[in-house]
C-alpha cells in the first residue's frame, strides 16, 4: 500500500512555475526525504500533499484519499510540522498540546492525558507548565513535533524539521524521527541537508526549480551525489560488461567512457579489493580515478548551479 501517490503535480503562481510535473510514491511505513535548495519548491509540494494548497494539475492521493476532493478525510490521517515552529508563545506547552487534542476531537480528558504522555516522551515535563516564550529553539521544535503526534496520524509531514537547530538538537530530532519510523508511521520530510536525508530517509528525491533532479534510495544517490567515488576505466567492452554484471546495483555506468563508478569510503584497502575482484573476472582495468566531490559541488552540479 502506498501512503502517498502523486502524479503530474504542477503549480504556478502567476507566471512563476513552482512545480513542473512531479511524480512520486511513498510506500506506507517508509521515510521519504525531499531534498533541494531554498526556493526549489519543497514547501509548495508539502503544502499540496498536506491539503493546504490546491495543485493546478495532477492528482495526489494521501492515505487513500484525494487531497482536493476529500481534503477533510486526508486531514484526519496526516499531520504537518511546518518550517517554523508553529507554537503559541503565550500558551504553555501543555495548553498547546491540549488545544491540538481538542481540535482533533479527542475530548477534554483524553486530550489532557495525551498531552501529559507527549510532554513526558519529549522531555518537556517541567517545561509543560511554562509559557512557550521561555523555551529554547530545540524545546520549541520538540513541542512542535509533539503537537503533530497528538492523535498518532499514520502520515507525518515534516518541513525542514532541523533548520536552524544546533547540532545537538538536530541529533535529538533525528532520533525522534527514527522512533516514529520504527513505530510504523509514514514520514515525508524535506531538508536542505544531504546528510539529514541520508541519515533518515529510505528513499530520497532531489528537486530544483520545480523539477526532479535525482531520485532513488540513499545508496543509489550516494554514487551520484555524494561521498567518494572510484571510477574504473576498462580496456574493453567485455571487461566493462563483466564488471557491470558482477557489482551491486549501486553503480554508475558510462558506456562512452567505458567506465564504471562505485561509491567507496576511499580507503586503499577498498580500492585494492575492487581491483582484485576485477582481476578475478578477467576484466582489464586501464585506469583508476578517485573522485572526491564536496557536498557543495554535488549540490551545484545537480541543481544546475543555482545558489543555496
Give the nearest distance from C-beta 157 to another protein in angstroms. Answer: 8
CA nearest 153: which of 145, 161, 142?
145
Is there binding between residue 99 and another protein (CB under 8 A)?
A: yes
Is there binding between residue 281 and another protein (CB under 8 A)?
A: no
C-alpha cell at 274: 575492487
Q: How many residues interact with another protein (rule CB under 8 A)? A: 30
State how far the Cα of 306 lies from the Cα of 286, in Å rounded to an integer. Answer: 36
Are 234 and 260 contacting, i.e. CB atoms less than 8 angstroms apart? Answer: yes
Determine which residue in the list 13, 38, 54, 273 makes contact with another protein, applying CB under 8 A. Answer: 54
Determine which residue in the list 34, 143, 147, 243 makes contact with another protein, applying CB under 8 A. Answer: 147
Decide: helix, strand or coil at residue 285.
Answer: strand
Is there binding between residue 65 and another protein (CB under 8 A)?
A: no
Determine which residue in the list 23, 38, 69, 86 makes contact with another protein, applying CB under 8 A. Answer: 86
Give the nearest distance from C-beta 207 to another protein in angstroms. Answer: 20
Is there binding between residue 128 and another protein (CB under 8 A)?
A: no
Is there binding between residue 104 and another protein (CB under 8 A)?
A: yes
Are 158 and 2 contacting, i.e. CB atoms less than 8 angstroms apart? Answer: no
Is there binding between residue 105 and another protein (CB under 8 A)?
A: yes
Rounded to 10 degrees, the C-alpha dihedral 225/229/235/237 comes to -40
Dihedral sign of CA atoms 32, 183, 168, 144 in order? positive
State how far the Cα of 115 lies from the Cα of 113, in Å rounded to an integer. Answer: 5
Determine which residue in the list 11, 42, 65, 75 makes contact with another protein, applying CB under 8 A. Answer: 75
Task: By CB under 8 A, name the binding residues for another protein.
Answer: 47, 50-54, 72, 75-76, 78-80, 82-86, 88, 90-91, 95, 99-100, 102-105, 131, 147, 157
Amino acid at each position: 500500500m502506498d501512503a502517498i501517490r502523486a502524479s503530474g503535480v504542477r503549480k504556478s503562481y502567476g507566471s512563476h512555475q513552482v512545480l513542473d510535473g512531479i511524480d512520486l510514491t511513498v510506500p506506507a511505513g517508509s521515510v521519504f526525504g525531499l531534498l533541494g535548495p531554498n526556493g526549489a519548491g519543497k514547501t509548495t509540494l508539502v503544502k499540496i500533499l498536506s491539503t493546504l494548497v490546491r495543485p493546478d494539475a495532477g492528482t495526489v492521493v494521501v492515505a487513500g484519499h484525494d487531497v482536493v476532493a476529500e481534503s477533510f478525510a486526508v486531514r484526519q490521517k496526516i499531520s504537518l510540522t511546518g518550517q517554523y515552529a508553529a507554537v503559541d508563545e503565550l500558551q504553555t506547552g501543555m495548553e498547546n498540546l491540549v488545544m491540538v487534542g481538542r481540535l482533533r476531537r479527542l475530548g477534554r480528558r483524553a486530550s489532557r492525558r495525551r498531552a501529559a504522555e507527549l510532554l513526558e516522551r519529549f522531555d518537556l515535563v517541567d517545561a509543560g507548565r511554562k509559557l512557550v516564550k521561555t523555551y529554547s529553539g530545540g524545546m520549541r521544535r520538540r513541542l512542535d513535533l509533539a503537537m503533530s503526534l497528538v492523535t498518532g496520524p499514520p502520515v507525518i509531514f515534516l518541513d525542514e524539521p532541523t533548520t536552524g537547530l544546533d547540532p545537538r538538537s538536530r541529533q535529538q530530532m533525528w532520533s525522534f524521527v527514527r522512533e516514529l519510523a520504527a513505530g510504523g508511521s509514514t514520514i515525508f520530510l524535506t531538508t536542505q541537508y544531504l546528510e539529514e536525508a541520508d541519515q533518515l530517509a529510505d528513499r530520497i528525491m532531489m528537486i530544483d526549480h520545480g523539477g526532479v533532479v535525482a531520485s532513488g534510495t540513499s545508496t543509489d544517490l550516494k554514487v551520484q551525489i555524494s561521498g567518494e567515488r572510484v571510477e574504473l576505466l576498462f580496456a574493453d567492452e567485455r571487461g566493462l560488461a563483466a564488471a557491470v554484471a558482477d557489482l551491486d546495483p549501486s553503480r554508475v555506468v558510462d558506456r562512452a567512457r567505458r567506465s564504471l563508478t562505485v561509491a567507496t569510503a576511499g580507503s586503499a584497502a577498498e580500492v585494492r579489493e575492487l581491483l582484485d575482484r576485477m582481476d578475478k573476472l578477467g576484466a582489464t582495468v586501464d585506469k583508476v580515478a578517485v573522485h572526491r566531490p564536496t557536498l557543495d559541488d554535488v549540490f551545484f552540479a545537480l541543481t544546475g548551479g543555482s545558489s543555496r
